[in-house]
Amino acid sequence: MFSESAEVYDLIYAQFKNYREESTRLAALLRRLNPSCRSVLDVACGTGEHIRQLTTLGLEVDGIDLDERFLQIAARKNPGARLWCADMASFEVDARYDAIVCLFSSIGYVRTLDRVEQSLRCFRRHLNVGGVIVVEPWFAPGQLDPSFVMRNSADGDGLRVERVSHLEIEGQLSRLRFDYTLTDASGVRNAAEVHELGLFTAAEMLAAFEAAGLEVEHDEIGLDGRGLYVARAPD
């Protein structure tokens, strides 16, 4: 999915995403929900920036992601973390965790409600007793404006990146097209990616958690305004 942009992902998102602040708030939330929380699995960990930040806050964090290039970057940042290339709806690792987190709307990439439920069941299987699941959702139907165009630019290490984002809506599927212009000493290169994320209502998400056998609460604000689902397996 991020085949064209993995190496410039951090450069782009550093312009507007405060991983340190988010991670500080998340660590406080996890410890409030589970005072003995120590081990965390970051599902769809991307380049491992949340792993890096949460580790500096005293947590032991591993990660999974479907993109091998992301995991290579995450491994460079987090040499002590265990990282797996796997699908969030079907992974199986030989470990259990005090908390499982799925952040930055990554749950939307499973695209269908059936796969949301499959993912949540998979998360539950990897929880320690008393553990918590924290999921940051993508947008609900009707919340996105297909006419909106976003432009981002960033500079670093002799490279300039410009990204233009376009949005299409088809039923309960959002389709993001990212067009990149990358300029460095060797010249200019253009690239493009298309990302598809499912659009689910809060009621549909809550029902998926319940179908997965989880007790869930919905925080409409969350870490950055997209909301947050916090769930536990019943005792």
Task: Calculate the dihedral angle through the C-alpha atoms of 136, 63, 86, 68, rounding to the nearest 10 degrees.
Answer: 110
Please state the separation of Cα 46 from the chain's center in Å. Answer: 7
CATH of domain 150-198: 2.20.130.10
CATH 3.40.718.10 fits 6-140+200-232, yes or no: no
Res. 224 pLDDT band, cuts 50 70 90: confident
Which sign does the torsion angle of CA 9, 118, 114, 216 carry?
negative
Q: Enumerate the CATH 2.20.130.10 domain ranges in the chain, comma separated.
A: 150-198
* DSSP letter for each residue of 65-111: ES-HHHHHHHHHH-TTS-EEE--TTT---S--EEEEEE-TTGGGGG-
Helix or strand run (H / E) with residue 123: helix 113-125
User: 190 pLDDT exceeds 80?
Assistant: yes
Q: Enumerate the CATH 3.40.50.150 domain ranges in the chain, comma separated.
A: 6-140+200-232
Phi, psi dihedral angles at 98 (to 5 degrees): -75, -25
Stretch 69-77: mean pLDDT, rounded?
97
Res. 4 pLDDT band, cuts 50 70 90: confident
Q: Which residues pair with 170 in a beta bridge?
A: 173
What pLDDT score was predicted for residue 235? 81
User: 2 pLDDT exceeds 80?
Assistant: no
User: 226 pLDDT exceeds 80?
Assistant: yes
The count of residues in the chain is: 235
Strands 127-135 and 39-43: unpaired
What pLDDT score was predicted for residue 1? 64
Structure tokens at 111: 């695209």
User: 5 pLDDT exceeds 90?
Assistant: no
Res. 163 pLDDT band, cuts 50 70 90: very high
